[in-house]
Amino acid sequence: MTTRLCLILFGPPGSGKGTQATLLREKLGMAHISTGDMLRERVASGDELGKAVAGIMQSGGLVPDELVNRMVEDRIEQKDAVSGFILDGYPRTVAQAQLLDCVLKARKIRTVVVYLKVDYNVVIARLSGRRQCPTCGALYSVSANSPAVSEVCDYDGSRLIVRDDDREEVVLQRLKAYESLTAPVLGFLKSAGYRVFEVQGDSRPPQTIAREIEELIQREFGSEPGIARA
């Protein structure tokens, strides 16, 4: 039976988890599972659950564990995650981590945790300067990855927007929620026996950080199935 692999990307909002997951999924041959993307898709659906989730996300709060847990457990059984998957933005609470621990161990999924360490001032500047295309979803930064025409998407010409959860006051609330609810998850994962590697995430180009993580995974898992070779 093929050994399944899991990479948990851990860190505060704006630490670069989504960017790293995008860069690594092709190189490692692992599915990218973003709870933030799954929740935003639910909000876009406009159903009752989506409206409830929208209110929570706009205030900077965390969506209830039961909902997030169910979505993730279903998602890791989809075809593209059969060999391995990268978790981006999950687990965010100790309760979520406890459920994930049971899921991973019951399925004998080998797991490593990468903690992207960043300065909070960098996080605030990074997120409050982020823009998104409401049509195609492309992300831009006003300082590091700006569009060719200011505030206009390079791909479809749509006017860029500031996501509700990227407004500065909401970013501050998200960081407070991270400190109180999410930061303790790292301690739980360590106590549960998972290898945790700290990677500096705010002072180097994303490609350099991705290369370091890729090398770390190659060392940890060797030639396990699910690890793509360049």
Catalytic residue numbers, as ranges? 17, 92, 130, 163, 174
Q: What tokens were used for 201?
A: 């995430």
Contact 81, 25 (CB under 8 A): no
Buried/exposed code over 65-94 (b: 16+ C-beta within 10 A; e: otherwise): bebbbebbeebbeeeebebbbbbbbbbbbb
Q: What tokens were used for 191?
A: 């106590």
Question: Residue 49, Cβ neighbours under 10 Å: how many?
Answer: 13
- Burial of 172: CB neighbours in 10 Å, binned 0-12, 13-18, 19+: middle
Q: What tokens were used for 70?
A: 């169910």
CA-CA distance, 197 to 61, in Å (whole number)? 27
Contact 94, 184 (CB under 8 A): yes
Contacts of 200 (CB under 8 A, 6+ apart): 117, 118, 209
